[in-house]
């Protein structure tokens, strides 16, 4: 059975798990990585307007077989108004 390891980055902590895990194939390891990314998003609520979370899957002897990222961008209404006003102030007449 192939062995895989995961590297995760939740925006605060980079974790290269030294443990190799058994999965029947790439597809099973990828599904687990996707679940891990969803768990990171749920567990690591952003403490600001922007956060990027990442997972990379590596197979023994074969390198990276999968990578994925999830990006969070949030704007309060005051930020949206300021951005809209800045676009109009620059004379382009459209939201930027």
pLDDT per residue as tens digits for the range 13-31: 899 999 999 999 999 999 9
Q: How confident is the model at residue 94 (pLDDT cuts 50, 70, 90)?
A: low
Q: How many domains does the chain have?
A: 1
Please name every residue paired with 59 in a beta bridge, in sequence order, or none if there are none.
4, 63
Residue 33, in any domain of the structure = yes
Residue 42, in any domain of the structure = yes
pLDDT per residue as tens digits for the range 44-89: 776 777 889 999 999 999 899 999 999 988 888 888 888 888 776 5
Residue 52, in any domain of the structure = yes
Q: Within 13 Å of residue 36, how many CA atoms lie on the same side as its CB?
A: 23
Task: Please give the residue range of the domain that contains residue 40.
Answer: 3-89
Q: For the residues of 25-75, what is the DSSP string, one character each?
A: SHHHHHHHHHHHHHHHHHHS--SSSEEEEEEEEEETTTEEEEEEEEEEE--
């Amino acid at each position: 059975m192939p062995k895989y390891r995961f590297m995760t980055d939740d925006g605060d902590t980079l974790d290269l798990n030294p443990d190799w895990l058994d999965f029947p194939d790439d597809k099973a390891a990828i599904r687990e990585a996707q679940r891990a990314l969803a768990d990171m998003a749920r567990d690591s609520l952003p403490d600001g307007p922007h956060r990027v979370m990442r997972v990379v899957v590596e197979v023994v002897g074969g390198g990276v077989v999968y990578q994925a990222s999830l990006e969070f961008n949030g704007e309060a209404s005051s930020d949206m108004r300021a951005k809209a006003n800045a676009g109009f102030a620059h004379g382009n007449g459209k939201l930027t």
